[in-house]
Amino acid sequence: MQKSEITVCHEYTETPEVKSMVTHIHETNELYLFISGNAKCYIEGAVYPLHPGDVMVMKRAEAHSILISSYTPYEYISVHFADGDVFGGDEILNFIHIRPLGRNNLYPNSEFEQKNWCDYFKKLRSAENETQRKIYLSVLLLELGQSYAQIDEVTPSATDGVGEMIGYVNSHLTEDINLDTLCARFYISKAQLNRKFRQMTGSTVWQYILAKRLLLAKELLQKGERPTDVFTKCGFKDYCSFFRAFKA
């Protein structure tokens, strides 16, 4: 089993650069508390405008980025953790794992202000040891899970069809998918596809597919599977291209 630990990051930037941060994928789950600023969160083609006190929940391998759209002071706290870092494990985390990619990630502060989840983030930031962090994190996740039913009707902004494309890519990740395949399925030109995909995810279609395949490959390797077996299971045509990509 992969050894992990809870990591907490608290950042405050007085004059943030107006830009979209690089789309990234974690091997761990993430909780993100938006404290201040003018920003949006892009997750798997969905767009979530952020307001102070909002909490975002991202499961492992869920591609996301933040778009900062003004020089307003930007502050947040993020918590990264593996499934094994939580007391109660699968039962507590079920609400995260059953959720479709890019759907119901946002817990709006306007709906849950009375919950005082900000206090748990602050306790996680100031915890003196790993046991304390596990306790605070487990309680916070338990409360988020219990409140999940209340956000079922909360939907992200329109994604111009990119969300459907992303769902298709993730469902066929191990198959021979490429731009021609996607263009034919969604009746769109390569130029339009790349433009829309980059606009909504911050990456090209191929960069997205490659990142997802490599994360899957790493998971299989950690389970003890042989590299010569893994590359075919992750959609790579030959071992050399898989080895170069994984090494890079």
pLDDT in tens, 48-78: 999 999 999 999 989 998 989 888 999 999 9
Report the predicted TM-score, pTM, of the whole model to 2 decimal places.
Answer: 0.82
Selection from 247, 248, 228 nearest residue 239 by Cα: 228
* Structural element, H or E, at residue 170: helix 162-171
Beta bridge partners of 30: 58, 80
Q: How far is CA 73 from the centre of its chain?
A: 23
Task: State how beta strands 64-68 and 39-43 pair.
Answer: antiparallel
Domains along the chain?
Answer: 7-151 (2.60.120.280), 162-247 (1.10.10.60)
Max intra-chain CA distance, the chain: 55
pLDDT tens, position by position, for the chain (248 residues)?
445 689 999 999 998 888 767 788 888 999 999 999 999 998 888 889 999 999 999 999 899 989 898 889 999 999 999 999 999 878 899 999 988 888 899 999 998 988 889 999 999 999 999 999 999 999 999 999 999 888 755 455 555 677 788 888 888 888 888 888 888 888 888 888 888 887 777 778 888 888 888 888 887 887 888 888 877 888 778 778 777 877 77
Give the span between the Cα atoms of 124 and 102, in whole angstroms. 25
Give the span between the Cα atoms of 15 and 70, in whole angstroms. 9
**What CA dihedral angle connects 104, 29, 213 and 64, to 10 degrees?**
50
